[in-house]
Amino acid sequence: MIRCGTLATIASQPLTPSLPAVLRRVFHEFNPEMITLHWPNPLAAIALQCVRNHMPAGSRLTVWYHADITRQRLGAFVLRPVLRSLLDRADGIAVSTGTLRDRSPQLAHRSSKVRVIPFGIDAGQWRLDTTPGTGPFLFVGRLVYYKGLDLLLEAVASVPEASLEIVGDGPLRDRLRRRAAEPDLRGRVRLHGELDDKDLRTVMTRCAALVLPSLERSETFGLVQIEAMAAGLPIISTHLPTGVAEVNVHEQTGLIVPPGDRDALAAALRVVTSDTARSRLWGEAGRRRVDDHFDHERMTDSLEQWYGELTGQGEDGS
């Protein structure tokens, strides 16, 4: 791993002036067969564009396309030529879900290049002794606008028997802490800040379910869903036009509610805690779903096969 110094962060993007020089050196020293850029990362894409003539002959360029840029509309417009050039040059594009492949306007005319490779985890690390339907609810993620945390607190406030554990940090932390201190929520919401995986697993063991109440397309997958499913927890998520709904299956591994609907979210909280038998069944189904679809070895095998095809070394190669 080679790390580059960062001068500042602008709109979540690290400003790294040394990156073009580092890329030239890496291309020269290692002569890579495969170069993968993760998007959104426009500054890295610009750096790669600057050194494109230094890429080794015969190397393949792939893009792991995680999400469209949705909130920064002006930025998305300005960066459109950069993204268009990147995707046109790419030999292949990977996405984590079929929904992103089918719904992204940037990928609509490039479907022949796109391969769906679902994210995977080492499920064994997340096999926990949990009690679905019993205890507080759990949220894990960045404390940012599109995660729906304001709505989640209002839903919890409307369910007197519910409590909530929040793991993560972000710009909404102070506002959420003030809301949690108000009389209707006092003593029922705990903000942990960032936790490592070990401490997160400890918190999971005492929780009833994971709640992912995201509001917008910025939430494209929700990796924490499969971690919680591997732990045997049911999931409450929202029906977004993204891959989030490809992970949690309504009435099989949990519940899916309309985004922004406080009453529907509160109703889902009540179902989980009032019917612990069903919650346990959802948790067990979630474990099986991770094993069948989101295992890290499956992901690695799919990625290696795809790379082999692109370099002419796979089953479909020459």
Question: pLDDT of 237-255, one tens digit each?
Answer: 999 888 888 899 999 999 9
19, 43 in Cβ contact below 8 A? yes
Q: How confident is the model at residue 55 (pLDDT cuts 50, 70, 90)?
A: very high
User: How many other CB atoms are there within 10 angstroms of residue 53's CB atom?
Assistant: 6
Q: Cis peptide before 105, with omega less than 30 degrees from 0? A: no
Decide if pLDDT at 318 tops 50.
no
Q: How far apart are CA 111 and CA 91, in angstroms?
A: 12
Selection from 71, 13, 78 nearest residue 39 by Cα: 13
Pairing of strands 8-10, 13-15: antiparallel
CA terminus-to-terminus distance, the chain = 32
CA distances from 236 to 249, 308, 311 (A): 10, 38, 41
Selection from 219, 264, 265 nearest residue 245 by Cα: 219
Q: What is the DSSP letter of 126?
A: G
User: How many other CB atoms are there within 10 angstroms of residue 55's CB atom?
Assistant: 17
Task: Pick one of 3.20.20.70, 3.40.50.2000, 3.40.50.2300, 3.40.47.10 as the CATH number of 8-120+296-310.
Answer: 3.40.50.2000
* CA trace torsion 131, 132, 137, 139 (10° rounding): 100
Q: What is the DSSP letter of 9?
A: E
CA distances from 51 to 20, 24, 28, 32 (A): 6, 7, 11, 14
User: How many other CB atoms are there within 10 angstroms of residue 96's CB atom?
Assistant: 25
Reading the block at residue 302, the tokens are: 């799919």
Q: How far apart are CA 4 and CA 193, in angstroms?
A: 27
DSSP secondary structure string for all residues of 179-226: HHTSTTTTTTEEEEE---HHHHHHHHTT-SEEEE---STT----HHHH
Q: How far apart are CA 64 and CA 94, in angstroms?
A: 5
Task: Pick one of 3.30.930.10, 3.40.50.2000, 3.40.640.10, 3.40.190.10 as the CATH number of 123-293.
Answer: 3.40.50.2000
pTM of the predicted model, to two decimals?
0.87
pLDDT at 78: 66
pLDDT mean over 265-289:
98
Greatest C-alpha distance within the chain: 68
Question: pLDDT of 143-186, one tens digit each?
Answer: 999 999 999 999 999 999 999 999 999 999 999 999 999 999 99
Q: Where in the chain is the domain with CATH 3.40.50.2000?
A: 8-120+296-310, 123-293
Q: How far apart are CA 68 and CA 71, in angstroms?
A: 9
Residue 186 makes CB contacts below 8 A (sequence gap 6+) with 180
Polymer length of the chain: 318
pLDDT at 317: 43
- The pLDDT mean for the chain works out to 92
Selection from 141, 99, 142 nearest residue 244 by Cα: 99
Reading the block at residue 315, the tokens are: 């089953």
* Ramachandran angles phi, psi of 48, nearest 5°: -65, -40
287, 126 in Cβ contact below 8 A? no
Q: Which of 8-12, 38-42, 104-108, 229-233 has the lowest mean pLDDT?
A: 8-12
Q: How far apart are CA 249 and CA 288, in angstroms?
A: 12
